[in-house]
Amino acid sequence: MTTVVERAADLAAWKGKSLGASDWMALDQSQVDAFAALTGDDHWIHVDTARAQRELPGGTTLVHGFFTLALIPWLQRSVYRVEKRGRGLNYGCNRIRFTSPVPVGARLRLRQSLKDCEVLAGSTRLTLECTIEIEGQERPALVAETIVQIFDA
């Protein structure tokens, strides 16, 4: 269920609370290959399926950690929505930890809670606790504290 508010400043009521979880999604090898080509991170654990089958536990290639991190803006669209808003920007990250490898094909989702909500002149800055979960695993793929600034409409 998506948390919906009228204005970004209305999220202040959610400070210290869970905003919810996104829908599940999976990444396939073609997406991982495209990310490798785009970033230059073509280490064999990501792109060489034959070698991964022989040498990696589980026998499959692994999704890039930074690809997993880059999914947060996409996945958070199904966690919360601000109805009346202007532009938004990724302001930064306070902390990022890649806590478990993600096998290609595994299903992922984002769970977010609001750590802080700072209402500024003309915008609202949100500090979000983000956890990318792997379906069927206790340990998440990553935990991060991200900052988003949403400008008023």
pLDDT the model gives residue 128: 98
For residue 133, tell me if it sits in a domain: yes
On whether the CB atoms of residues 63 and 52 are closer than 8 A, the answer is no
Query: What is this structure's pTM?
Result: 0.93
On whether the CB atoms of residues 85 and 124 are closer than 8 A, the answer is no
For residue 57, tell me if it sits in a domain: no
For residue 145, tell me if it sits in a domain: yes
pLDDT the model gives residue 1: 80
Q: Which domain holds residue 16?
A: 3-26+65-151
d(CA 62, CA 118): 37
3-state secondary structure of 65: helix
Integer angstrom CA distances of residue 36 from 9, 47, 79, 130, 149: 38, 8, 27, 24, 29
Mean of per-residue pLDDT scores for the chain? 97
For residue 92, tell me if it sits in a domain: yes
Domains: count for the chain: 1
Per-residue pLDDT tens over the stretch 56-109: 999 999 999 999 999 999 999 999 999 999 999 999 999 999 999 999 999 999
CATH of the domain at 19: 3.10.129.10
For residue 55, tell me if it sits in a domain: no
For residue 58, tell me if it sits in a domain: no
